Amino acid sequence: MTATLVAASYFSVAECLATPRSNPLSAYAGCGKALPKGQSNGGVSNVTITSDGVERYYLVFVPPTYNPFIPTPLILSYHGGVRTALDQLQLDELTNPEFNTVSMVVYPQGIANSWQGVPGDTVNDVLFTTNILNELENLYCINPSRIAATGKSDGAGFCNVLACDPVLSKRMAAFAPVSGAYYIDTLPCYPSTVAIPCSAGRTDVPMLAFHGGNDTTIPYLGEERKNECLPTIPHFIQEWALRDGLGSSNVTTPLAVDTVTYTFGHGLETGLVGLVYESNIGHDWPSTVPNADNMVAGHHVANYNATPIILKFFESHPLSIFETLEELV
């Protein structure tokens, strides 16, 4: 086993280019290719793509340090309901060089500014995401062990849809939903005990959620909304801990004023699942500087920044070598 691990750790780019995948593309197929026409390091481009017979688009941020011969981490960031890909780019600060200079960030645009999983939405956004990933891996030098997803509100809820998908949960390394709307199609609604369907393809899915105690849009304690049920956030995150075999107990750690982190797992699994909770912020992307969320009347800046915590979480939780090899073969 040790010899196999060492050998797997030292794949050359040439070897990776020749490695087959279960999808029509090859792993690292984009390595060695020049950036698409009109794109440059540090820039953002609007890219159209056809998915399920419909022309759609996403924004792609190429990090300043991008090198076509070095596999690059990839983050997909999904906008909230009624907002756009550009809104999300301006909100999450993942393109801010203060926080990120190494990860490519992609902002998919939802049809009617919505996402699969929202009540009444019938678009196949899991397929859309799959199409985007296939295209990105063909165009750019993407590290298949470091593909992660975040999002806000409905976009955060869609992150959970991806994490529970039997295929993409194995292709994507980690998930960090912010102010998530985790709709469950069942009534009557019992937020603290409602069954949360999930068909994740593995039992070690890293999940770090963020939520405010004063969120009146997607309440921390759940509610019936849009004729479906929103679980309490503690119930939602505890279910992920149980799903990952971490048990129901957690460690509470102060993070900032009025802010704590609930961490599940022990030993090497410490922090595989967690929740960052600030008691007095609303339906916001937590930031210590003004943004489109916290400048709304009745809202205020947070006591911590979610973005660097998300980036650190993604960096700390790649797919394991064996999980990556399973997807590549």
CA distances, 141 to each of 26, 57, 135, 264, 305 (Å): 11, 20, 11, 33, 29
Give residue 154's region: left, alpha or beta (phi > 0; psi -120 to 50). Answer: alpha
Q: How far apart are CA 141 and CA 40, in angstroms?
A: 14
Which residues are within 8 A (CB) of 323 and not within 5 positions of it... i.e. 6 or more apart?
A: 145, 170, 202
pLDDT for residue 320: 81
Determine the residue type at 100.
N
Strands (E) located in the chain: 44-51, 54-61, 72-78, 104-108, 142-152, 174-178, 207-212, 223-225, 228-230, 251-256, 259-264, 273-278
For 278, the token pair is 């600030």
DSSP 210: E
The answer, yes or no, to whether residue 232 has pLDDT greater than 90, is yes
- Express each pLDDT in 59-89 by its tens digit: 999 999 999 999 999 999 999 999 999 999 9
Number of domains, the chain: 1
Q: How far apart are CA 101 and CA 239, in angstroms?
A: 34
Q: What is the CATH number of the domain that holds 115?
A: 3.40.50.1820
Q: Is 176 helix (H, G, I), strand (E, B) or coil?
A: strand
High-pLDDT (> 70) share of the chain, %: 89
Determine the residue type at 130.
T
Tell me the residue range of the domain where 253 lies: 2-328
- Express each pLDDT in 181-226 by its tens digit: 999 999 999 999 999 999 999 999 999 999 999 999 999 999 999 9
Region 309-326 average pLDDT: 83
Q: How far apart are CA 148 and CA 114, in angstroms?
A: 20
> 104-108 and 72-78: which strand pairing?
parallel
- pLDDT band at residue 25 using 50, 70 and 90 as cut-offs: very low
Burial 74-100 (b: 16+ CB within 10 A, else e): bbbbbbbbebebebbbebbbbbeeebb
